[in-house]
Amino acid sequence: MARREQDLPMAVPVPADIDRPDRIAFGLTARQLAVLGSVAVGLWGLYEATADLLPLGVFLTVAVPLTGIAIVAVVGRRNGQGFDQLLWAILRHHRGPQRLVPAQAVPGQRVPDAPSWVQCRAGALPSPLRLPVTAISPEGVLDLGKDGQVVQCTCSGVNFGLRTHGEQRVLVAGFARWLHSLTGPVQIVVRADRLNLDPAVATLREIAPSLPHPALEDACHAHAAFLEELAGSRDLLRRQILLVLATPDAGTRGSPGGQQAVLRQAALARQLLATAEVRVRPLDGADVQRVLATATDPHGEHTQLDTEASATGIVTASPTLLHPDHDPDGR
């Protein structure tokens, strides 16, 4: 009987948006009730102030459209956001700076003016671009300043649908053990990344002559040619699953203790998710830079990020560049 119960499917309803605010009254949240209440109080005050000056019909002509706009703005939603939140974001974007430039070392909210001896004036100067990531350690820990520190890990997928109900229960139990171990914020990101087959093709071309049989060599060259044709005729994508772990304690922000705490969370996730057949690999600094670069510029080439200079690093020229006749060996 117990074995038969284990083979039965298990279905548990989980809300799609666990951060959805509670409904207080009339199917509305506290924020929606506050906005509509403010509009109602404002219209009532306007009616009391203009009751002796305007007829009721004129007041209703103005009040009814305003009430309808307020209801639509508060109740309506698009892409998971309320219309009032979208309108507020539009206003903040319109009033904010439209041109931003990388200037992490510039204090304040605007780029300083040019020196007084510069005669040319190009108009209004742009504002500095404040990126959320302030530093990336060699271990792959991202420093977000006041928002703490995070670490990124890549995860493998699990074919859940082809498992039996008993195997699915085991996988769910392993995933649940990891969820119960969490002490800080966590985010699971599933993104599509460009698939570059050039390294695989180069490897096949390289190992083909060393194969023990001519038929294997021909098959290796044929497979390399197939991959080249596939890459030239299709826009190939691959799915990447990222696990983002943040510092569990706000008091450890920007400190070595915060880095060690978030790295321990990554090691614990790697250990616990292995029971759910999920392979977790923490990313180092170079891999994190590559992930961020491909997220901001998916169609660019990002293979030399580890050799590029940092924003605050000192750049020195080669002696042969400054003095073409200079001999580096001293001869």
| 99 vs 261, higher pLDDT | 261
Q: How far apart are CA 173 and CA 164, in angstroms?
A: 14
| Per-residue pLDDT, 253 | 53
| Per-residue pLDDT, 226 | 94
| Per-residue pLDDT, 216 | 93
- In order of 154, 161, 288, the CA distances from 306 in angstroms are 19, 40, 10
pLDDT confidence of 218, banded at 50, 70, 90?
very high
| Per-residue pLDDT, 269 | 92
H or E segment to which residue 189 belongs: strand 186-194
Q: How many other CB atoms are there within 10 angstroms of residue 146's CB atom?
A: 9
pLDDT greater than 60 at residue 3: no
> Which among 150, 154, 132 has a CA at the least distance from the CA of 142?
150
| Encoded tokens for 45 | 């005050």
| Per-residue pLDDT, 304 | 47
Select from 3.40.50, 3.40.1620, 3.30.70, 2.40.50 the CATH code of 135-195+236-298. Answer: 3.30.70
pLDDT greater than 90 at residue 23: no
Contact 266, 151 (CB under 8 A): yes
pLDDT in tens, 275-330: 999 999 999 888 898 888 888 877 766 554 444 554 445 555 555 544 445 555 55
Q: How far apart are CA 112 and CA 97, in angstroms?
A: 15
| Per-residue pLDDT, 302 | 59
Domain boundaries, the chain: 23-95, 135-195+236-298
Q: Model's pTM, two decimal places?
A: 0.63
Give the residue carrying structure tokens 């002696």: 319
3-state DSSP assignment of residue 59:
helix
3-state DSSP assignment of residue 225:
helix
